[in-house]
Structure 1
């Protein structure tokens, strides 16, 4: 049987949809030949199917065999649209597939296909450990039937477990764990200690989240250093009793704070009458400023939570704890001090790479997400990736209502609770997306007061995430959640077992309500997309207040003084509708501009890191260090045992190369933070950064050779080679973390954001 005319018509209409960046025509034409292979493949026994899988070498055969393997192994026959998605991934594109359309199975067929096309090994990069393990175990029967090995890596994996996992044909791993493994591999002194193989193909799950939202996040490998004094804890004590308006003033945008003269005098007196702006008080000045930021601007249960005696940062895009994240520039220690906790070690940065730079190391990159079109230009700019918008298997019949906009928070919240109560009393399941932990807990309390029980999913109980989401479609369920992006579990009507599906369908399906607009349209779309999966009925609406931070920060100037509203307090004013949309566009524009600016600096560092990595690889895998010493110190080198010369030369050269890179990174960090002053002086900060970074790197390369020669010359090798004699002492402990964006940005970021706001407002 051929592909139905109805499906063909839907594909044809979809190909003409505005905004689609890739023509699906050539891929959709393969669907009939794929289906034509189905009956013959069904006749094969498992061993014969595995053999056919090993011989598949084009898209048609890969998809046909992959479909049959999935049908047998997990009793799921991939839809035509899933095969379209797999072919898009095999073509090196980002497939936009709606929530609930089966991206996990789509990626499995694509991973199999990439190995058959010679693009292996394949890494499926996920947003967290839970999804990496879940998807690998879920899809393993399919891979086994296809003759492939599959494994997963999580934070708890040992080095040997990681090595074995990366030796599989397909490895599921969170992007951060993969990046950390790469950084550790870059510091080995023996090739056998590496865990990863070549970085060949990456299939990126939640591609917009990883490739755009997290692109500029630095992954850091740190090493232990001698214990240093902690001026930030002392500063936290000094600022905790200061008062807003008297001792300090917060800027209108809520992103910066400054001491008043009275506040500064107060601090200086507490410090014994010092002048904080004296040259010898730089450390104290920096500490009290960062402590003031933590005290005045960072909010518990909004920006972070305190759990098990530690400060845990919240990922604003996903509303869950940002695992192993730290704020930079002393801010982490300042928040820990504010909460009365001991400072956690930051250590010395041994190596670092941004998510964007790490993914760029793969020869082939593709990905999938429910929301890619909005960031299509950025995917093209940063990764040379095109978006292929895949139609849903069945038409989307969800009803998306216009925003309900209220003039104030209290009016909006009353209306929101009433709307939820009405739906709940009928038994209709409701999912409410809130902007932060505090808002989710406030709404839960308001619902309890109104007699509406609810489940709360936020950063404080993320361990219960899968169970809570799985039952969010049950009769009468009310689920209050922070952002739904990247949650990875479908909401089935009638509950996880779908036993009350018919009743929920009759009630109109899942009702999704957004309690405020997010800075990103994609995050709102991810929330909305939780309703109406696979042709289910559903509805969505957003309740917005003109007091929401998004609106006041980015559209306050264009709101009418007296907007038109009805008796219920709902605003009906085209100018207000425009202002809310405008605020979201401005927020996205500012974030994009900061991303672009950060990447311009990262490009320089990344080029240097790649050059250094090439040099390090030569030192690690050849005798280039020993040859250098034979040329520079021929007498000593020739009288040294050949094996001793080889081992000592390699170890000394690697140590000094790594040490100089650590010093170089610290220097570049200082330069990066200082160039904003030159920007104020009308100089191009990027040019100024280059003027410092390029000669510093040239000097680093010279110093690697000079220090290696000097160390070799001084060491006594008569009794063999021992690293301690050359004072080659690497850190006794290393650990990894991600640098969370400073919520206030660097001084330079703030300048760029201000310019971005002006440009977007003007446009």
Structure 2
């Protein structure tokens, strides 16, 4: 039951929207009598209204009503009133906190459609490609029905495909692809390579996962720096010899490794060096990375090793593998050396941006998630986003039982297995959340010993492929599902199972063989699954040439998800059969839902508290969706990381003092409060880290925006002559400012040297010339030199000067910016030591990074002019 104060809070936060919801409902009644074409005509009228600069408030109620009516006509889903409130909150540029199963995907249709009518493009950002593709195909039908275009960005798309999709009215894209496309656009050599439009409006699904969890690590595009890999191999061997607390210490809480004096001496002797921090031959960073790889980064927890002998990072929050992502600073190479794998070259940063600063580029930003209130302060401080809790459509009936804490891991896992066996005996579906791949497989092996059937969902590729089917069946009677994490899975666990997803997954698995003989053989040899056997005649009737066509599978899936009727007799027959079988089985499926509900619904088991309360809440939230019954309980042990780092000894003493047996768990509300307090401390620590990353990147952001704006103008301008002339004059002014700081006796020689260095021509200065007039004389001389060079080159190759200007500008901007990023990274690594001198590192960093930036801009100007005035065309005879 919702507490009265919580009800009051929800009422206060949504009362302002009640009148607007009533107006939308009134519009809905008027729209129901309109034809599809008349509905689309209303959309065009609203579009003209908005693009003419008229107020959005005049049309928002009608627009939301149109989307609700279109969603009913296309998907047979009608927005609840609370979903309308969620849409209004998103349209205001806020975060809508909606519980799992409340239909966030449908809610996003409302504000995205309204903002897409401005014609500037709207982005819906999701955490993985599966969700982006699913949403674009399924709910994107509503946008298409109303006359909008829908784009989808996927990993392996070409530049042309990306341009076409980004130019659509509504674009579904993952946060990674969005960020890397932004960086690649700002490395483009020609305007034709740019894929994105200016960033206008964005709705982020699982906003806490993207803006909080993934905000710790910046997006980086890098190139090989050709650093030798031998040092990683040497220090990996050395790390295995070094002893913890003898040669080094490990701060697991702060993820820091420190060498002790004895360890430093030992390493210097082993590596035959006099100083580990010697700049020409540094060893310290290699040793520390090898020790981190040994102590803090565990296989099947933080990473896996795939069949190609590559180290693949596992996202600790979503439990998914992060293909293409690498740890920076040599850490990834250290892990590769630890695992005796081929060591890839260390990378040098070419372009980077944090998620914080990427999403702040949008004119309007909003997001939705089931768990945002715990991070409300961070959302407001960094992103200026307010969190608005949206009431559930039906009252939450889930029971969250107090945690059980056991003395050790063995007792805990035994208790978890016993709980699974008991629930399985009752017939209740169970979802078990584990924190690592290793622990998920440990529990799987334990349940196998107990003779209990289960499904396993973790980051291993063979399990990820069947993800949608596993989640779809997790609510079936007696089902036991083990998962590394449930954040961002994108599929609700329906009690009794999800018939459509199960049916589609089974048929897709069969058809993907693309070999008719194999399908027939599989069915003939005893494939007894009724969902597949009902389609045996259909599969046997398929023409093998038809089935091997590249477009067959995509068309096949379109039939499953959209019910399209293309001009293909075989597929049309299949669609009719599919609908018939679905209707036959649906009644039986509904009966199963009633049975599971009567048994108590889905029971969620947590096997460890996460560092963030949000992740625990996401796991709990998988049960009790849309008013369904359910329950949850966490099983913990004193060996768990969170308890070990925050109060494990005190709890152990408590167990001894009250005289509990070793196999007796502690169950106490006070203990739960202590755990919540520990999680808050960890959250505060990580918040401070993200805040520091954001503050340091803010200084770089202003510089990045300046460089990228300059680059964009270079790409868009047809002629850069005036720009280049300005570069030359500013370069002369730089020399003039330096000249003013020198003694008058040195002016002649210094001027002659600098002018020859920049312009490539010998100059002489009249010693009687006034310093104040020199700068104007130099500018005239430069313009003459530049015009002569232009005439010389254009006489040989017309248009060559304009091409050289663009080429040298882009080349020098990119080269100097890459060098600048290296200098800034070195500054950021060293600046923290200023705190020991009672100075604010951040203030010093901002000042010094600005000075480095100004010098970089001058270097770009000088080098562009230097290269242009020395350009020659080789003529072959």
TM-score category of the 2 structures, normalised to the smaller one = 0.7 to 0.9
8 Å CA contact 2:453, 2:480 repeated in 1: yes
Distance change >3 Å, CA 228–CA 634, structure 1 → 2:
farther
Partners of 2:475 and 2:250 in 1: how far apart?
43
**How far is the alpha carbon of 1:279 from its aligned partner?**
2.3
Q: Counterpart in 1 of 2:494?
A: 492
**How far is the alpha carbon of 1:262 from its aligned partner?**
5.9
Partners of 1:628 and 1:420 in 2: how far apart?
72
8 Å CA contact 2:421, 2:452 repeated in 1: yes
8 Å CA contact 1:399, 1:540 repeated in 2: yes
Deviations 1:331-370 (A, max 9, x none): 0001011111112344332111111111111101011111
**How far is the alpha carbon of 1:268 from its aligned partner?**
4.2
Q: Counterpart in 1 of 2:361?
A: 361
**How far is the alpha carbon of 1:683 from its aligned partner?**
2.5
8 Å CA contact 1:374, 1:522 repeated in 2: yes
8 Å CA contact 1:396, 1:534 repeated in 2: yes
Q: Counterpart in 1 of 2:207?
A: 207
Distance change >3 Å, CA 630–CA 299, structure 1 → 2:
closer
1:567-582 map, 5 Å: 569-573=664-668, 575-582=670-677
Q: Counterpart in 2 of 1:17?
A: 9
Deviations 1:456-504 (A, max 9, x none): 1111132322221111111111111112111111101111124521211
8 Å CA contact 2:602, 2:629 repeated in 1: yes
8 Å CA contact 1:508, 1:537 repeated in 2: yes
Q: Does 1:677 align with 2:833?
A: yes
Partners of 1:129 and 1:430 in 2: how far apart?
27
Q: Counterpart in 1 of 2:508?
A: none
Deviations 1:511-567 (A, max 9, x none): 011111111111111000000111111111111223211122133475472334756
8 Å CA contact 2:122, 2:200 repeated in 1: yes
Q: Does 1:634 align with 2:633?
A: no
Q: Counterpart in 2 of 1:296?
A: 295
1:443-454 map, 5 Å: 443-454=443-454
Partners of 1:330 and 1:396 in 2: how far apart?
48
**How far is the alpha carbon of 1:399 from its aligned partner?**
1.1
Structure 2: which 5+ runs fail to align? 47-55, 500-588, 729-781
Question: Which segment drifts farther, 462-471 or 676-685?
Answer: 676-685
The TM-score with structure 2 as length reference comes to: 0.77
Distance change >3 Å, CA 574–CA 147, structure 1 → 2:
closer
8 Å CA contact 2:221, 2:350 repeated in 1: yes
1:473 is aligned, of 460, 463, 475, to 475
Deviations 1:184-223 (A, max 9, x none): 1112222122111111111111011111222242111223
Q: Counterpart in 1 of 2:45?
A: 55
1:702 is aligned, of 848, 858, 877, to 858
Deviations 1:633-672 (A, max 9, x none): 3234324237322221121112111111100101111111
Q: Counterpart in 2 of 1:394?
A: 394
Q: Counterpart in 2 of 1:753?
A: none
Q: Secondary structure at the match of 2:314?
A: strand
Partners of 2:95 and 2:669 in 1: how far apart?
35
Distance change >3 Å, CA 278–CA 444, structure 1 → 2:
closer
Q: Does 1:106 align with 2:107?
A: yes
If asked which structure has higher relative contact order (CA below 8 Å, sep 6+), I would say 1
Q: Secondary structure at the match of 1:634?
A: helix
Question: Which segment drifts farther, 53-62 or 234-243?
Answer: 234-243
8 Å CA contact 1:411, 1:569 repeated in 2: no
8 Å CA contact 1:127, 1:210 repeated in 2: yes
1:661 is aligned, of 807, 811, 817, to 817
Partners of 1:659 and 1:373 in 2: how far apart?
43
1:44 is aligned, of 18, 34, 50, to 34
**How far is the alpha carbon of 1:577 from its aligned partner?**
3.3
1:281-430 map, 5 Å: 282-308=281-307, 309-430=309-430
2:807 is aligned, of 651, 661, 670, to 651
The Cα RMSD (Å) is 2.5
Partners of 1:698 and 1:417 in 2: how far apart?
63
Distance change >3 Å, CA 50–CA 418, structure 1 → 2:
same
Q: Secondary structure at the match of 1:95?
A: strand
Deviations 1:95-145 (A, max 9, x none): 1111111111111222111123x2731000111111111110112321111
8 Å CA contact 1:119, 1:200 repeated in 2: no
**How far is the alpha carbon of 1:245 from its aligned partner?**
5.1
**How far is the alpha carbon of 1:423 from its aligned partner?**
0.3
8 Å CA contact 2:268, 2:276 repeated in 1: no
Q: Secondary structure at the match of 1:326?
A: coil
Partners of 2:254 and 2:406 in 1: how far apart?
22
Deviations 1:439-458 (A, max 9, x none): 11111122222222211111
Distance change >3 Å, CA 355–CA 119, structure 1 → 2:
farther
Q: Does 1:255 align with 2:255?
A: yes
Q: Counterpart in 2 of 1:686?
A: 842
Q: Does 1:584 align with 2:679?
A: yes
Question: Which segment drifts farther, 58-67 or 520-529?
Answer: 58-67
Q: Secondary structure at the match of 1:43?
A: coil
Structure 1: which 5+ runs fail to align? 1-9, 721-763
The number of residues matched between the two structures is 707
**How far is the alpha carbon of 1:386 from its aligned partner?**
1.2
Deviations 1:141-164 (A, max 9, x none): 211111100010011111111000
Q: Secondary structure at the match of 1:435?
A: coil
**How far is the alpha carbon of 1:51 from its aligned partner?**
1.3
Partners of 2:424 and 2:410 in 1: how far apart?
21
8 Å CA contact 1:565, 1:571 repeated in 2: no
The TM-score with structure 1 as length reference comes to: 0.88
Q: Whose helix proportion is higher, 1 or 2?
A: 2
Partners of 2:27 and 2:426 in 1: how far apart?
48
2:700 is aligned, of 601, 605, 617, to 605
Partners of 1:76 and 1:12 in 2: how far apart?
31
Partners of 2:252 and 2:860 in 1: how far apart?
49
Q: Counterpart in 1 of 2:23?
A: 33
Distance change >3 Å, CA 591–CA 704, structure 1 → 2:
same
8 Å CA contact 2:403, 2:667 repeated in 1: no
**How far is the alpha carbon of 1:259 from its aligned partner?**
4.6
8 Å CA contact 1:559, 1:575 repeated in 2: no
Partners of 2:650 and 2:146 in 1: how far apart?
59
**How far is the alpha carbon of 1:404 from its aligned partner?**
1.7
Partners of 1:686 and 1:156 in 2: how far apart?
40
Q: Counterpart in 1 of 2:141?
A: 141
8 Å CA contact 1:560, 1:576 repeated in 2: no
Question: Which segment drifts farther, 36-45 or 471-480?
Answer: 36-45
